[in-house]
Amino acid sequence: MSKLVNPHGGGELKPLMLEGAALTAEKEKAVDLPKVNVSSREAGDIIMMGIGGFTPLDGFMTHADWEGVCDGMKMAHGSHKDLFWPIPITLSTDTKTAEILKEGDEVALFDAARDEILATMIVTEKYLIDKAHECMQVYKTTDIEHPGVEMVMAQGDVNLAGPIKVLSLAEFPQEYGEQFMTPAQSRAQFEKRSWSTIAAFQTRNPMHRSHEYLAKIAIETLDGVLIHSLLGKLKPGDIPADVRSEAIETLIDNYFVDNTVMQAGYPLDMRYAGPREALLHALFRQNYGCSHLIVGRDHAGVGDYYGPFDAHHIFDEIPADALETQPIKIDWTFWCYRCDGMASMRTCPHDAEDRLLLSGTKLRKALSEGEEVAGNFSRPEVLAVLRKYYASLKDDEKTEVKLSGHSAR
Amino acid sequence: MSKLVNPHGGGELKPLMLEGAALTAEKEKAVDLPKVNVSSREAGDIIMMGIGGFTPLDGFMTHADWEGVCDGMKMAHGSHKDLFWPIPITLSTDTKTAEILKEGDEVALFDAARDEILATMIVTEKYLIDKAHECMQVYKTTDIEHPGVEMVMAQGDVNLAGPIKVLSLAEFPQEYGEQFMTPAQSRAQFEKRSWSTIAAFQTRNPMHRSHEYLAKIAIETLDGVLIHSLLGKLKPGDIPADVRSEAIETLIDNYFVDNTVMQAGYPLDMRYAGPREALLHALFRQNYGCSHLIVGRDHAGVGDYYGPFDAHHIFDEIPADALETQPIKIDWTFWCYRCDGMASMRTCPHDAEDRLLLSGTKLRKALSEGEEVAGNFSRPEVLAVLRKYYASLKDDEKTEVKLSGHSAR
């Protein structure tokens, strides 16, 4: 039987979360270490390293690695030299904190929002970066309106590099239960199901028929699909994770064949880096054991910063051996009345007016105001779950939901 | 840019059809050579070798090659030693003809049905085979009711091996025009269209929605689909090639995006060898430049001789480097009323009664008697072409059509 794709880098999964006595001891020690505050993005990266999602990273990147990743998408150092990596994974702090730290110091990485130490780190390097250079290389823009650029610009001026030991996965294991699956767990599930070809379907939202169609294209030719939801920070107006999960589960129960689909979530903030983030999405899906990633139109994009197919093309531009996990490139999908079925721009030759297209904003408005939504757009069972959620919102929350205007994925 | 798959064996295409002065000279010589009659199957094989569809074969197989192919799916001789080949390509004659031939003799391969010499051959070997052994190895049965077995059992008792020079492609170029595409021509077309990933869709019949769905699954992720129709001997009740071609062209015009699909035909009789023939279908599609072959349920099967997925499984049993062309394995496809769309057994979890399934026999009856056919089963534009054809038949032909009971593909 064929086997699963290898973890990135070709070795074993490398979860940096401590366990047992080592965890207890490190936690005790951490309390007395100097604290370095981490942002939401950095916290997500720590937890991903904790569960092995960023295998084979040992911690936050050095200046040479930062530069290698920005400029050539590869690591510069030691055992990871020349390893493909598309987006810098860095930790920043303010100048004042940096000044009192010296190389070799051990620090506690503290998440103020959660009031919790997530990890310890040995500082091996303090360095300054040209933030605008990172933004241009990774985000292709320095426009401060871009949410990823905004994060880079808002971060501290000094980067700290070093190996980390992860002490906590924050609220994820408890809040999301089985939904919060580590790469080792998803791999075990795939093996139990005798799957070896698996497409990850990335989502932040409930699945309508266009998303069901994307997943089913993959199921027609692969062993299964992992519907892999973002459990990191949501935007205002996004459906909460439990409602999303219920809506997806309902879809699976009613419209998918047993043992062709699994649902799970991962703990990471969106960077909205478009093509570079599509590569990161494929990379960590490889760690989860997925042989393929469904890459739609404007994957991980925001606004008009990227061409609709930039995230497709970038997979042709990286070295053939950069990733084992391969993209399944699919264009917009929709119901077409003349096709009398679901289709994409690749398979439907008809006109825009033959197609049922509904913006996320219009859908939210219809759901929160109890209007009809076409069954060709979304399954009735899914709509029922979403209607129940919108009905439970207070009026002022509905208003906020209606005002937030981000698109479906 | 990626390039097309290599011809089988990794070298250049090897069409055995002579041209120009060499052709004229060989034709003149052939008239005076002893004649060996060829069967319809053998004629198809000669023409396939003529156009390079059976690259890199030089002619009909020797005993050692026959044995290697029957027992281990590989050639035994010379420059083709260990070359993957799934079905023996052999020429037979009766004992009387064989007796007057000796090794080194040159013969004319004569197609009595067409009253034409198709090729010349230098006889390098005369040999007897255990026909039952060939049938068991290739067809998995010696049941004389099996049409492939019947052909083997009906062939002459002596096989003749040797390199051939092809003198004629029979009626194919003239009768089918551009439809009759050689591997060199399809490759040139693919390159002109900048396609490198192409799925061949094998058919003997017009395409209904289930077939359209199969092709579109491939188009969603590949550059294009080659709808590749059999132009060899049809069965009674089969739709004639020109009607089939018109029905398919109508479907393409109305329901496919420009530059995602091409139609062509190939000159070969069905052997109905199920899994082994699926491998041969993939092999010659590699010569045509197709990176994939859509392999449905019971591909190239007949009756109940093969399990519905034997033709899927066999691709997992051959060496990884046997073929570059890979299968796209798809189960039964159909319209499902609860899915409200096309689906397969892999993507529709509903019951048989939710699905629209129509046998070829029932469809022919409905078409020839002017009954309604559900639009979910076949496109109205396609049905109109077929209705016109059935209306043109005389009453006794309709009866024959209704009585012939072979299924859709």
> ipTM, 2 decimals?
0.89
Q: A interface toward B at CB cutoff 8 Å?
A: 216-217, 219-221, 254-258, 260, 328-330, 339-349, 375-376
Averaged pLDDT of chain B: 93
Q: How many CA atoms lie within 13 A of A404 on its CB side?
A: 16
Q: Which of B220, B254, B349 sits opposite A257 (nearest CB)?
A: B349
Q: Provide the shortest C-alpha distance from residue A372 to chain B (in Å).
A: 18
Integer Cα distance of B211 and B32 in angstroms: 49
As beta bridge partners, residue B342 has B335
- Determine which of A17-21, A189-193, A302-306 has the lowest per-residue pLDDT on average: A302-306
As beta bridge partners, residue B60 has B162
**pLDDT of the residue at B352:** 95
**pLDDT of the residue at B357:** 87
Angle separating helix axes A241-255 and A380-392, nearest 10 degrees: 160
Inter-chain residue contact A255 with B339, CB threshold 8 Å: yes
Q: Provide the shortest C-alpha distance from residue B352 to chain A (in Å).
A: 14
pLDDT in tens, B190-202: 999 999 999 999 9
Residue type, A53: G
List residues of A with catalytic annotation: 204-205
Inter-chain residue contact B376 with A344, CB threshold 8 Å: no
Identify whether the C-beta of residue B381 lies closer than 8 Å to the C-beta of residue B254.
yes
Neighbours of A194 (CB within 10 A): 11
Identify whether the C-beta of residue A56 lies closer than 8 Å to the C-beta of residue A301.
no
Q: Which of B257, B339, B342 sits opposite A349 (nearest CB)?
A: B257
Contacts with A343 from chain B: Cβ below 8 Å: 216
Q: Which of B328, B341, B346 sits opposite A260 (nearest CB)?
A: B346
Neighbours of B14 (CB within 10 A): 17
Is B259 a residue of the active site?
no
As beta bridge partners, residue A95 has none
Give the residue carrying structure tokens 């936050």: A60
Integer Cα distance of A234 and A240 in angstroms: 8
Residue of A197, A219, A220 to mutate for B, most B C-beta atoms under 10 A: A220
DSSP for A76-143, written as a single string:
-SGGGTT-B-SS---EEE-HHHHHH--TT-EEEEEETTTTEEEEEEE--EEEE--HHHHIIIIIS---
Inter-chain residue contact A347 with B375, CB threshold 8 Å: no
Neighbours of A308 (CB within 10 A): 15
Integer Cα distance of B309 and A56 in angstroms: 39
pLDDT band per the 50, 70, 90 thresholds, residue A368: confident
For A2, nearest residue in chain B (alpha carbons): B316
For chain B, what percent of residues have pLDDT higher than 70?
95
Q: Strand, coil or helix: what is A195? A: coil
**pLDDT of the residue at B2:** 62
- Determine which of A95-99, B237-241, B332-336 has the lowest per-residue pLDDT on average: B237-241
Inter-chain residue contact A219 with B347, CB threshold 8 Å: yes
For A342, nearest residue in chain B (alpha carbons): B341
DSSP for B352-393, written as a single string:
GGGEE---HHHHHHHHHTT----TTTS-HHHHHHHHHHHHHS
First and final C-alpha spacing in chain A? 35
pLDDT in tens, B62-72: 999 999 999 99
First and final C-alpha spacing in chain B? 35
All structural domains of chain A, each given as residue ranges with its CATH number in brackets, are 20-170 (3.10.400.10), 175-266+272-397 (3.40.50.620)
At B30, list the tokens.
């052939």
Give the residue carrying structure tokens 């040999």: B127
pLDDT in tens, A182-199: 999 999 999 999 999 999
Nearest to A388 by CA among A244, A265, A254: A244
- Determine which of A366-380, B29-43, B319-333 has the lowest per-residue pLDDT on average: A366-380
Contacts with B340 from chain A: Cβ below 8 Å: 375-376
pLDDT in tens, B122-180: 999 999 999 999 999 999 999 999 999 999 999 999 999 999 999 999 999 999 999 99
Integer Cα distance of B17 and A167 in angstroms: 73
Give the residue carrying structure tokens 């979360």: A17
Integer Cα distance of A352 and A347 in angstroms: 13
Q: Provide the shortest C-alpha distance from residue A145 to chain B (in Å).
A: 34
pLDDT of A402 > 70? The answer is: no
**pLDDT of the residue at B233:** 74
Integer Cα distance of A129 and A68 in angstroms: 13
**pLDDT of the residue at B402:** 47
Q: Which of A328, A340, A346 sits opposite B260 (nearest CB)?
A: A346
Residue of B216, B312, B344, B345 to mutate for A, most A C-beta atoms under 10 A: B216
